[in-house]
Amino acid sequence: LPTKVGLVLGLDSSGVDGRIDHGERSVRLGEIRSVWYRRPSEPEPSDEIEDPDDRWFSAQESEEALLGLWRTLNCTWVSHPDAIEAASYKPAQLLRRLMHNFLDQQIG
């Protein structure tokens, strides 16, 4: 489905195994010690998929597969996708700052 990245993934009771392929490079999931997650590009479906709805579905499925994969990695993150998403909710962000005395003003 995607044109630039390949994912081989195996799941069992002992955890996750597999690899990510990108062009000439291949990384085994068990060897990943840290991830820098900064503005990743959107998955790009193959040009062979012409129907717009099918292209959208392919891109969504690819993105969900990668986001699911990221949640299985036990490594150091800069910054984890879940932390980035949580930080995007401004009212919750301000409330946390108030609770930790980082703001001297009230929300109102």
AA letter at 57:
F
Q: Say which residues have a Cβ less than 8 Å from residue 12's Cβ, sequence separation at least 6.
A: none
Q: What is the pLDDT of residue 66?
A: 86
Number of domains in the chain: 1
CA distances from 31 to 16, 41, 58, 70, 104 (A): 12, 23, 28, 14, 45
Q: Judge whether 106 lies within some domain.
A: no
Q: Judge whether 90 lies within some domain.
A: no
CA atoms within 13 A on the CB side of 40: 18
Q: Judge whether 31 lies within some domain.
A: yes
Task: State the pTM of this model.
Answer: 0.67
Q: What is the pLDDT of residue 52?
A: 94
In terms of residue numbers, what domain contains 18? 5-80
Mean pLDDT by 10 residues, the chain (108 residues): 77 85 90 89 87 93 88 89 83 80 58
Q: Judge whether 42 lies within some domain.
A: yes
DSSP code, position 31: G
Q: What is the pLDDT of residue 89?
A: 81
